[in-house]
Amino acid sequence: MSSDKPLLSQFEPSYAPNPQPHHHRRHSSLKNNSLGCLSEATPISSWVAHETQNCKAYNLKESEENFAPAEGKTISANFLERPTLQPAGKEFWSAELHKQCPPRERKRLVSWGGVMDLRHLKALEISGASSSRVQDLNRPQTSRRSERFLQISMQLEENIPHHDNPRLIHINDPKKTNDKFGFSGNEIRTSKYTLLNFLPKNLFIQFHRVAYLYFLAIAALNQLPPLAVFGRTVSLFPLLFVLTVTAVKDGYEDWRRHRSDRNENNRETLVFQLNEFHPKRWKKIQAGEVVKIRSDETIPCDMVLLGTNDSSGIAYIQTMNLDGESNLKTRYARQETNKLVLEGTTISGVVRCEQPNRNIYEFMANMELKGQRFPLSQSNIILRGCQLKNTEWAIGVVVYAGQDTKAMLNSAMSSSKRSRLETYMNRETIWLSVFLLIMCVVVALGMGLWLKRHETQLDTLPYYRKNYFQKGKEGKKYKYYGIPMETFFSLLSSIIVFQIMIPISLYITMELVRLGQSYFMIGDQHMYDSSSNSRFQCRSLNINEDLGQIRYVFSDKTGTLTENKMEFRKASIWGKNYDNSYPDADALLDKDVEAKDVTVDRRKWKLKSEITPDPELMKLLYKDLSGEEGIAAHEFFLTLASCNTVIPILSESSSSGCDGVLGGSPVSIDYQGESPDEQALVAAASAYGYTLFERTSGHIVIDVNGEKIRLEVLGLHEFDSVRKRMSVVIRFPNHTIKVLVKGADTSMFSILHNDRPAEDHIRHVTQVHLNDYSSEGLRTLVLASRDLTGEELAEWQRRYEDACTSLTDRSVKLRQTAALIECNLTLLGATAIEDKLQEGVPEAIESLRQAGIKVWILTGDKQETAISIGLSCRLLTADMNQIIINGNSENECRKLLCDAMAKYNVNSTSCSSQITKLRRKAEPDYLELPSQTKSSSMPQQCEGEEDTPNFGPLALIIDGNSLVYILERDLESELFDLATSCRVVLCCRVAPLQKAGIVDLIKGRTDEMTLAIGDGANDVSMIQMADVGVGICGQEGRQAVMASDFAMGQFRFLKRLLLVHGHWNYQRIGYLVLYNFYRNAVFVLMLFWYILCTAFSTTSALTDWSSVFYSVIYTSVPTIVVGVLDKNLSDKTLLKYPKLYAAGHRQESYNMSLFWITMVDTLWQSLVLFYVPLFNYRESTIDIWSMGSLWTIAVVILVNVHLAMDIQRWVFVTHLAIWGSIIVTYGCMVVLDSIPAFPNYGTIFHLVKSPAYWLSILLITVIGLLPRFIFKVFHQTFWPSDIQIAREAEILKRRRRRHIGSKTDEVSS
């Protein structure tokens, strides 16, 4: 930003309005400006009036609470002059405005660049833009976003706590705390059931599946005497079996949870009682009690830290159990309480804190102690599940216990995703239901017509005699209900007989198959990451097959494509570039005697990662600190060493003291921090002689050239996504007060001095250096500083204290406070850090693109850095036409989009089919999707590869600032049309919600499958929005992993996950569903033909048990085995030819055509199955039960041989399952036919002696499968698919290898 821009950053709301360029008198000097940014000569009220005239549309208001002076303090005249203060908590306003306010910008509503900080406001900040805007939210938002995206936005809002009713915790007085408020105890319960509610609750959950209700209704109908087709017990067996298996599984899982809860609740810790610490079980701990934790113990509840064994009150904790991060974090006890703890004094006070909420990264509270009130923040609380490390003991007061702890509030499972193929399966299930209804209506009408025709003969005809004859005598009478009711009962009876047309076993089969597939995916050694010792994880079993149909991959950059292991490479200091990559830097240093001494001093600290310093910069630092350049370099590295939250971990005990450390042998030092960037910068400062080796809540100690400097930390404004910078207020030993700031260039250049022409050149050169660094793929930060006067410090401290103790809108007030000192800065320089690409990333991206998968990168890095990484990973190529969208207004973005679409012939409406034909000819790898998968709103030219024949491939590069304007409905269409016409899309400087918005843009407008992959907390919303979410076990914790469906250690594993396991899973599940439909339908149709030949009587030739066992025992195991183990192609072939993955895009394994072909084949096989035995035994006197026994074994053999024809990979287990199921069927029939009570007693023993029996089975198998065999032969011969061609190539290769091997054996013999 140029020097005439406003001083305050565009990102923070402030009560210090930005001066306009013509207000030169406001920049006169710091001495005349109490805040360094506001001029006493220009009242705020007049400034607001002037800006209102210019912008007419902005309603600038601010909370009175933000400006109210603390009790007993005064406020400067500048703030007392404000005439327009509003009631507290209503509205706030942004810090920076444009010099002009275009009319279209006044309608902007929502920020896509950051998360809202307030709940009940009528104004929102827009971050990521060139300026913050006050937004009017009177217009409804539902028309502006899709429902899915609103859900994520609302989830984020729900995590923002209410502070109207703070929680009061009386320290060391649990009785007073809990008697008045009745807080939750510390006993936790993660189980879902108890002994009393297990049965009803589990059944209630299971019957949420509509199919279960269907079979329950069938079983209930069968209990009615007129409808009792099957035995009443037998009819319940399938449903009871499914319910029992699921209940046992749920019960076992819940029993394990009960056991875990019991072990957790019965753990012990020390609690202060009767003036001593006594052991107490966790479940009995209450809010208000004082708890003592020893080293390596787990924290039992959320506690505010009161004191530690360290005099500075510092404690180190590990939060791995909470967020998966293994690096240590610091927590501090207030000096007021830590001193009392060390003295052994009993503490009595009140903690006022926010109500329990899920936000583990924020805590707002204050403490009243001896009449004083001081703030508490996230750095003062330790959460349940964390572990105390490198600290002998720590004491705290319980503020949240049990179910109120943040860990328990975050333990809820995210909603499960649903497979796309399962959705299509439901469509086919509806068709099967229609077939079922048609068959039942045919049977019912047939029965009614037959009864009407033979109404006078019912006493003499079989099946319908009114009287029941027994031993030649007339017995009891049948209940005859008349033709209408008999017809209705026949309809219901038919539904019972044909019930398995809807395969209830399919649900269990799919779950078991997915479980087996997950087992093999987890055990795949090719997806094991040895560097992080992490295996592939399947966190969701519902969407395995979706991995085979992915069309879009949305990837984060840092930590996903790159290693997220930062290395300091270059620095720009006071306008001069310094390169850190000198291979012989140490040799160059040794040429100088003084440099040798520097090296000796520096080697007192042994860093975990050695960094080779620039010799010229080292010489500047240790020889010339008098000039401007030397002073800037000195402050530059002081800023690196102090403006961070890094924790130095020394190999020796801290009790040895600083002097002892500095005077002894080399000390190993390891830096622990939440950000790898910070760790790299602090390590770089140490390499140049500025070693941070001690940090407490109130001070840091830095070894500068062997000289120990103790710096007092007066305050720290941590980095946030709105300000995009971090600052620390430091008091030096000479009592000088400085503000040291580092941040993104977009947020830093706007707050530098703009009235110093001498520094303009330095700023310009630094900007050039930043562009050069970004073009090399390096991550950049800008450093600046300024001195604070006593008045500025006093005003800032008062505001800072008020903001820190506030329980309402603390983050907003802290940003406003930071704006007071983060202005009029002096530029020191910039840093460049290298984040190397992960191994195999370019190859993986190239393979995914060959597979027809579009890879989009969504990153928060600079545009130049993203482009450089895109080139490195082969996502961008030199022949691509880059379309860059960097707009600062809605009109500008619209113009850029329209110009790009016009230039490259991208149509926003439906295009002619001729364009698609031209593109198909121009691109040999053009992949056209089936018509049923295309979105009606998607242009035809956007369906295949994305570039047009008249131009080279296109690459769209867009920044988050532009997305602020574009992600509105009126520009979303243009962005969608342009983006889907491009081969590559890079989104830079995007916020987490913008990532989710991009994913939702594709999901909402196409039927394509999307996958999002990331490694950090900022990727969670994107991962949850996509159809498939993949988390990377990286350096930024495990938030992404915990929110994902699948997790892996490296991005390169995505290639194998999709191209191999995704392809296998989709092919297996697709065939599994079709085969289950076929298997059940052929059985039902066989019964249907029989009923038509028995006067529509709904009687069955099969025993009740045979009907039940058919799906449960006779044919279930082969289906599961094939679904888990079958492979149509080897993994080597699938990886070698990525284009084979496009079979999933074309839905070759499961589509409507395959369904209808399967149903036609089923119809033929059922006719053969029924009429062949009827023809063979037409002259015999075979009884009906013998015929039913023949049909039972024939249908089992038929469907198993049908399955065997389609198996691509035969292994021992497959043979065992296929042929073993036939043997098991025979065994079960022998057992059932050996029971005298059954009507089919002895039938199997007579049948096997008849040649007609074996001839019938042979004819049924051959005739039934012959059309299918002929169809497959012709199809594979004349219209082979890519899969078939690749499979034949595999077979030929194996035969050739076997032939060569046999020849070798002959020669050797």
Q: Where in the sequence numbering do the catalytic residues fall? A: 556
Tokens (6 digits) for 574: 């006071």
Which residue carries 């006070």 as its tokens? 349
Which residues lie below 8 Å from residue 519, measured CB to CB, with a gap of 6+?
Answer: none
Our separate counts of H helices and E strands in the chain read 45, 36
Half-sphere exposure (CA, 13 Å, Cβ side) for 1265? 19
DSSP lists the bridge partners of residue 607 as: 669
Show the beta-strand stretches assigned E in 532-646: 537-538, 550-555, 562-573, 576-579, 605-607
Q: What distance, in Å, lies between the first and last C-alpha atoms of the chain?
A: 83
* Secondary structure of 58-107 in HEC code, one letter for each residue: CCCCCEHHHHCCCCCCCCCHHHHCCCCCECCCCCCCCCCCCCCCCHHHHH
User: What token pair was written down for 453?
Assistant: 């025709």
Check if the beta carbon of residue 544 is closer than 8 Å to that of residue 514.
yes
As a dihedral over the C-alpha atoms of residue 784, residue 575, residue 686, residue 744, rounded to 10 degrees, the angle is 40
Residue in the block written with tokens 């079989």: 462
Q: Coil, strand, or helix at residue 121? A: coil
Query: What distance in Å separates the CA atoms of residue 763 and residue 782, rounded to the nearest whole number?
Result: 11
Nearest to 662 by CA among 712, 622, 701: 701
CB 1145 within 8 A of CB 929: yes
Tokens of 454: 């033979």
Using CB atoms within 10 Å of the CB of residue 727, give its burial: 0 to 12 exposed, 13 to 18 middle, 19+ buried.
Answer: buried
Beta strands 387-389; 393-400: pairing state? unpaired
Q: What amino acid is encoded at 391 in this protein? A: T
How is residue 133 annotated by DSSP?
-
Q: Which two tokens stand for residue 1272?
A: 């497959």
Side-by-side strand order, sheet with 328-332 = 328-332, 314-318, 387-389
Per-residue tokens: 475 = 């017995």
How many other CB atoms are found less than 10 A from the CB of residue 384? 25
10 Å Cβ neighbour count for 986? 26
Rg (CA), the chain: 37
SS3 content of the chain, % helix, strand, coil (to 5): 50, 15, 35
Query: Computed from CA positions of residues 796, 640, 1039, 293, in that sequence, does the dihedral angle turn out positive or negative?
Result: negative
Please give the structure tokens belonging to residue 677.
Answer: 């960037």
Q: What is the 3-state secondary structure (H, E, C) of 1264-1292?
A: HHHHHHHHHHHHHHHCCCHHHHHHHHHHH
Residue 293 CB neighbour total at 10 angstroms: 25
How many CA atoms within 13 Å lie on the side-chain side of 514? Answer: 20
What phi and psi values does residue 564 have, to the nearest 5 degrees?
A: 60, 30
CA 223 to chain centre: 48
- Distance of alpha carbon 994 from alpha carbon 1000, whole angstroms: 10
Nearest to 1065, CA basis, from 550, 393, 355: 550
* Rounded Cα–Cα distance for residues 785 and 733 (Å): 17
**AA identity, residue 214:** Y
